[in-house]
Amino acid sequence: MEPITGAEILVRCLKEEGVEYLFGYPGGAVLHIYDALYVQDDIKHILVRHEQAALHAADGYSRACGKPGVALVTSGPGLTNAVTGIANAYMDSIPLVVFSGQVPTALIGNDAFQEVDAVGITRPCVKHNFLVRDIKNLAETIKKAFYIATTGRPGPVLIDLPKDVTIAKAEYHYPKKVKLRSYSPTVKGHAGQIRKAVDMILSAKRPMIYTGGGVILSDGSPELVELTQLLGYPITQTLMGLGAYPATDSQFVGMLGMHGTYEANMAMHECDVLIAIGARFDDRVTGKIDKFCPTAKIVHVDIDPSSISKNVQVDIPIVGSVPNVLRAMINVIRDEKLKPDAEALTRWWRQIDEWRALKSLSYRQSSEVIKPQFVIQKLYQVTGGQAIITSDVGQHQMWAAQYYHFDRPRQWINSGGLGTMGFGLPAAMGAKFAFPDQDVVCVTGDGSIQMMLQELATMKQYHTPVKIVNLNNGYLGMVRQWQEFFYQKRYCMTYFEALPDFVMLAEAYGHVGMRIEKPGDVEGALREAFALKDRTVFLDFLTDQTENVFPMIPSGGGQNEMLLAERDEMVSTHDEGMVLL
Amino acid sequence: MNNNNRHLISILMENEAGALSRVANLFSARGYNIESLTVAPTDDPTLSRLTLVTSGNEQIIEQIVKQLNKLIDVVKLIDLSETDAIERELMLVKTKASGEQRAEMMRLAEIFGGRVLDVTEATYTIELTGAGGKLDNFLRAVEKDAILEVVRSGATGIARGQKALHA
């Protein structure tokens, strides 16, 4: 076999992995790779305008379609710019394979031009990383990277490629399979534990199902729906888990956690058996840990053993992939014709319906000023609930999660763990590459959008028409909300004294810009925007500047200590809570 | 539950660049305590054996073990404190040894099973091995201002009986 260069090997490996899109940005250390990309058409390289966006776009692509996202950046600043995107994917367990250029091996450690210790910098925020020093290891390392990124609990894997390795030649051989003696995730749940869990689940008088992003990542939605409907139990989902169970079904009691619904959080607090599936008991979900689910026995299904009993001690841990474990549970229940306690369940639902009757997501509508919640409700109507929604981070993210009812997995794409402002726009672009025929909407705010605004140029270049719903209140709204509640309205550095004219800005990038100032114009503007199928439309909604996200569990509070919009005056939280953010 | 117990954890991992820093990183990033750490290749040159001493309550140790296992480079590990195991540490001590001190120091070294490796007119350099506690005891037994320098390798260990950790 004719030896080929490292750069050519890389491109061939990507083809074998079925990679369609490579999101990246060139530079000195990766010039050979770009040269190899130039002479082929199979892999489409998307030239972003900032490396962070390359990572977010690859991430959004992966979240939308389930395949690993792939990114390519140069050494030094290319890599450091990418770190936020890598960390973002790591926190939400998104499978990415990231290639970074590196200075030639002979110069590593010499403080060469555009040199940084890429594997050192990224070590805490990758599932694994590699520095390839020898061309002979390149193909196998790439195979390992895809394997590690996509199996077990997924995550980003970085491969650092010194320039000389991309130039050196070797015979091409791509292994069909790799086996790592140090890595073999448990997929199948332990039968004995599953049996014990089923008994506990069916003994419940006040059961609660709580699921997270793991259900979506493992494509476990069909099994989750089947089990939940078989049991007839109430189900709540985390911010990362929305869509795995249809939000419009009556068994869904809404999102839980800091800005979850009253009924979801109360049911969590009062339940006697909690069935946690692919969720990690994050602090935004649990509130104060010693007040969390005080009366519940807990079953926890997760593929990552280190997620189990990390924050909350559980009674029955099951390590395995969600669809696999849930299928086994369903089989036990069906085979043995087991039934939940119908009488207790009726009483429990009656209680939940009482909590529901409080309508914790209600807000005061206005005929003068646009309420941000209203925009999301109209967006839901106009898109028929079918659009893929990405979001940035802040108040608008919570409103999108609360008021857009996600009925299918991979429909809701947001930065849950790291909370990265700027994620939404490049993620929307990535999702649009995955599903060019679907409506993709980026719900954002005037703060977040300015962090990755330059990607409007990329979207023009590649014709990825998404709709941008900017809930523009002139404030960094979530921080402002906290300053209002907990810092006596001392609005330090949360008001933008100068905002750009977003309409002109969108037009400057070659897109359509619209400004909407009246509640009566919201629906019409949305309809007009979605009618422009092949255009990116920037909808700048001037919204109520001081609207707050409710309900809310103030930091340090328990799940039963929610503040509701209409009912509660905001009072300063206790000192202990302030520490918790 | 809240007792902070000392644990001796022995890890078999890929002998690759960066593997050690993955372990060290994990401890600093998650705020776990490392009391000592030793590492060297094994008879199989593709594998390293890393032994560390840490402390924490049951829950923390459980997390440490899970997080270590999660590292891709970690092949296997064993918490030697959970099993019948032999723990050893090497210590080199340079002491003052002149006049009457010379005989006294030699006697102490003998009692603790130590060997004198280097002798000058005024000093002894003594080698001692044993579990950490024994080495502590030796240092306590020696007059404090007689100690010039102490070098400890950190603890390492192996399970008793037929149990063996291999890839």
Q: What DSSP assignment string belongs to A2-67?
A: --EEHHHHHHHHHHHTT--EEEE---GGGHHHHHHHHT-SSSEEEE-SSHHHHHHHHHHHHHHHSS
| CB-based contact B69 A306, cutoff 8 Å | yes
Annotated catalytic residue, options A8, A17, A23, A51:
A51
Helix (H) / strand (E) element for B110: namely helix B100-111
Q: If contacts are CB pairs under 8 Å, which of residues 131-160 in chain B contact chain A? A: none
- Go through B9-42 and write b for each residue having 16 or more CB atoms within 10 A of its CB, e for each that does not: bbbbbbbeeebbebbbebbeeeebebebbbbeee
3-state secondary structure of A283: helix
Give me the interface pTM, i.e. the ipTM: 0.92
Alpha carbon distance, N-terminus to C-terminus of chain A: 60
pLDDT in tens, A255-283: 999 999 999 999 999 999 999 999 999 99
pLDDT at A169 over 90: yes
- By percentage, how much of chain A surpasses pLDDT 70? 97
Tell me what pLDDT residue B167 has. Answer: 81
Instruction: Kindly indicate the confidence band of residue A579, based on its pLDDT and cuts at 50, 70 and 90.
Output: low
Residue B166: predicted pLDDT: 87
A297-356: pLDDT as tens digits:
999 999 999 999 999 999 999 999 999 999 999 999 999 999 999 999 999 999 999 999
**Residue numbers in A near B14 (CB within 8 A):** 182
Which residues fall within 8 angstroms of residue A243, CB to CB, at 6 or more apart?
A216, A221, A237, A406, A407, A408, A409, A410, A411, A412
Taking Cα atoms as reference points, which of A40, A46, A43 lies closest to residue A15?
A43
Residues of A with CB under 8 A from a CB of B: 119-120, 123-124, 127-129, 131, 148, 180-183, 304-306, 308-310, 313
If you compute the radius of gyration of chain A from its CA atoms, what whole number of angstroms results?
Answer: 24
Which among A123, A306, A313 has the least Cβ separation from residue B21? A123
Give which of B44, B57, B67, B70 to mutate to test A binding, by max A Cβ within 10 Å: B70
- Residue reference for tokens 């063996």: B164
Residue A437: CB atoms within 10 A of its CB come to 6
Which residues lie across from B90 on neighbouring strands?
B129
Answer yes or no: A113 catalytic: yes
Work out the widest C-alpha separation in chain B, in whole angstroms: 57
Asked if the Cβ–Cβ distance from B22 to A181 is below 8 Å, we say no
Shortest CA distance from B28: residue in chain A: A124
Of B18, B67, B73, the CB nearest to A119: B18
Low-confidence ranges of chain B (pLDDT < 70): 1-2
> Which tens digit of pLDDT belongs to each residue from A90-128?
999 999 999 999 999 999 999 999 999 999 999 999 999
* Identified catalytic residue from A398, A478, A514, A562: A478
Determine whether the interchain pair A310/B21 forms a contact, defined as Cβ–Cβ distance below 8 Å: no
Two structure tokens written together for A133: 């020093």
Instruction: Say if the Cβ atoms of B63 and A306 lie within 8 Å.
Output: yes
Output the CA–CA distances (angstroms, integers) from residue A463 to A58, A460, B156, in the order listed. 17, 5, 61
Of all residues in chain A, the one with the smallest CA distance to B67 is: A306
Q: B67 at the A interface (CB within 8 A)?
A: yes
Beta carbons of A485 and A570 less than 8 angstroms apart: yes
Task: Collect all residues with Cβ–Cβ distance below 8 Å to A212 and sequence separation of at least 6.
Answer: A237, A238, A240, A241, A276, A277, A278, A279, A280
Task: State mean pLDDT over A204-217.
Answer: 98
Contacts A–B by Cβ distance under 8 A: 40
Residue in B closest to A181 by C-alpha: B75
Whole-angstrom distance, CA of residue B135 vs CA of residue B138 = 5
Choose from A129, A159, A179, A182 for mutation: most chain B CBs within 10 A: A182
**Is a pLDDT exceeding 60 seen at residue A573?**
no
Q: Which residue of A has its CA nearest to B26?
A: A124
Task: State the alpha helices, DSSP H only, in A287-437.
Answer: 322-335, 342-356, 372-382, 395-403, 424-434
Write the residue in A119, A131, A182 that is nearest to B74 by C-beta. A182
Is A429 assigned a catalytic role? no
Burial (Cβ within 10 Å: 0-12, 13-18, ≥19) of residue A338: middle
For residue A568, pLDDT over 80 is answered with no
Helix (H, G, I), strand (E, B) or coil at A151: coil
Q: Enter the DSSP assignment of A100.
A: E
A349-375 average pLDDT score: 96
Q: In chain A, which residues have their Cβ closer than 8 Å to the Cβ of B66?
A: 305-306, 308
Residue A343: φ, ψ to 5°: -65, -45
pLDDT of residue B4: 82
Q: Which of B22, B25, B75 sits opposite A181 (nearest CB)?
A: B75
Nearest-CA distance A129 → chain B (Å): 9
Q: Which residues of B touch A183 (CB under 8 A)?
A: 72
pLDDT digits (tens, 9 = 90+) for A44-74: 999 999 999 999 999 999 999 999 999 999 9
pLDDT digits (tens, 9 = 90+) for A441-459: 999 999 999 999 999 999 9
Cα A536-A538-A544 angle, rounded to 5 deg:
155
Residue A123 to residue B18, Cβ atoms within 8 A: yes
Yes or no: say if A156 and A126 are a contact pair by the CB < 8 Å rule: yes
- B22/A123 Cβ within 8 A: yes
Binary contact (B29, A124; C-beta < 8 A): yes
Q: Which residues contact A31 (CB under 8 A, 6 or more apart)?
A: A163
Crossing angle for the helix pair A77-91 and A51-65, to the nearest 10 degrees: 30
B74/A148 touch (CB, cutoff 8 Å), yes or no: no
pLDDT tens-digit series, residues A536-548: 999 999 999 999 9
Cβ neighbours of B25 in A, within 8 Å: 123-124
Top residue of B2, B22, B72 to mutate, by most chain A CBs within 10 Å, is: B72
User: Is A51 an active-site residue?
Assistant: yes
pLDDT at residue A569 greater than cutoff 70: no
Catalytic residue among A144, A163, A432, A467: A163
Distance CA A570, CA A564 (A): 9
* AA letter at B148: L
Nearest residue on chain A to B68, alpha-carbon basis? A306
Q: pLDDT-based confidence at A570, cuts 50/70/90?
A: very low
Higher-confidence residue: A176 or B2?
A176
3-class DSSP state of A520: helix
- Give me the DSSP letters along B15-65: --TTHHHHHHHHHHHTT---SEEEEEE-SSTTEEEEEEEEEE-HHHHHHHH
**Cα separation of A467 and A431, whole Å?**
12
Is residue B117 within 8 Å of residue B92, measured between CB atoms?
yes
DSSP assignment of A214-264 equals HHHHTT-HHHHHHHHHHHT--EEE-TTTTTSS-TTSTTEEEE-STT--HHH
pLDDT given for residue B61 in this prediction:
96
Residue B88 identity (one-letter amino acid): R
Q: What pLDDT is stored for residue A319 in this prediction?
A: 98
Q: How confident is the model at residue A510 (pLDDT cuts 50, 70, 90)?
A: very high
